Structure 1
Amino acid sequence: MVERILPQLFSGNNDKWECRGMTTFFLIRHGETIANQLGYIQGTMDNKLSSLTLQSKQQIKDYQRLIRELKISYVFTSPLIRARQTSEIICQKSSLPIVSDDRLKEVSYGEWNGKLLSDLKKNYSSYIDDATNDLKPSANRVNNGEPYNHARKRIISFFKEVARVVPQENVLVVTHGWVIKTFVEACVDSKNTLNFNNPSNLSLTKLTLEQGKSHICFYNRQYDVEVIE
Structure 2
Amino acid sequence: MIYLCRHGQTFHNREGRMQGQTESDLTPLGQAQAAAMGELLLDLIRRDPPADWRIVASPLRRARQTAEIIGARLGLPVAFEDRLMEISVGDWSNRLRDEVKSENPALLSDPEWAFKSPGGETYEDIMARLSGWLADQAPEPERRLVVVSHGIAGWMLRGAYAGLPREQVIRLDTPQDAIFRLANGQIDRLSCAPVAEPA
The TM-score, its normalising length taken from structure 2, stands at 0.83
List aligned pairs for 1:117-132, cutoff 5 A: 117-129=97-109
Per-residue CA distance 1:5-43 (angstroms, 9 max, x = gap): xxxxxxxxxxxxxxxxxxx11111100000111110111
Q: CA deviation at 1:101?
A: 0.1
Q: Is the 8 A contact 1:106 1:178 kept in 2?
A: yes
Q: Give unmatched runs, 5+ long, in structure 1.
A: 1-23, 210-214, 225-229
Q: Give unmatched runs, 5+ long, in structure 2.
A: 194-199
Q: Choose which of 170, 175, 186 in structure 2 pairs with 1:216.
A: 186
Distance 2:167 2:6 in 1: 19
Distance 1:107 1:80 in 2: 11
Q: 1:190 — aligned with what?
A: 165
* 1:106 aligned onto 2:76: no
Q: 1:135 — aligned with what?
A: 113
Distance 1:112 1:169 in 2: 36
Q: 1:97 — aligned with what?
A: 77
Q: Choose which of 135, 139, 149 in structure 1 pairs with 2:124.
A: 149
Which piece of structure 1 moves more, 59-68 or 70-79?
59-68
Q: 1:19 — aligned with what?
A: none
Q: Choose which of 30, 49, 57 in structure 2 pairs with 1:56.
A: 30
Distance 1:31 1:104 in 2: 16
The TM-score, its normalising length taken from structure 1, stands at 0.73
Distance 1:184 1:51 in 2: 25
Per-residue CA distance 1:196-226 (angstroms, 9 max, x = gap): 24311132111126xxxxx22324x4225xx
Distance 2:163 2:147 in 1: 19
* 1:26 aligned onto 2:3: yes
Q: CA deviation at 1:167?
A: 5.0
Distance 1:89 1:179 in 2: 20
Q: Is the 8 A contact 2:155 2:170 kept in 1?
A: no
Q: CA deviation at 1:90?
A: 1.1
Distance 1:126 1:197 in 2: 21
Q: Is the 8 A contact 2:55 2:79 kept in 1?
A: yes
Looking at CA atoms only, which structure, 1 or 2, has the larger radius of gyration? 1
List aligned pairs for 1:164-203, cutoff 5 A: 164=139, 168-186=142-160, 187-192=162-167, 195-203=170-178
Q: 2:182 — aligned with what?
A: 207
Q: How many residues were matched structurally?
A: 186
Cα distance change on mapping 1:42 and 1:171 into 2, 3 Å: same
Q: CA deviation at 1:66?
A: 3.4
AA in 2 matched with 1:127 = L
AA in 2 matched with 1:201 = Q
Q: How well do the aligned residues superpose, as a CA RMSD in angstroms?
A: 2.3
Q: 2:135 — aligned with what?
A: 160
AA in 2 matched with 1:159 = L
Secondary structure of the 2:179 match is strand
Distance 1:85 1:57 in 2: 8
Q: What is the percentage of aligned positions where both structures have the same residue?
A: 27
Secondary structure of the 1:85 match is helix
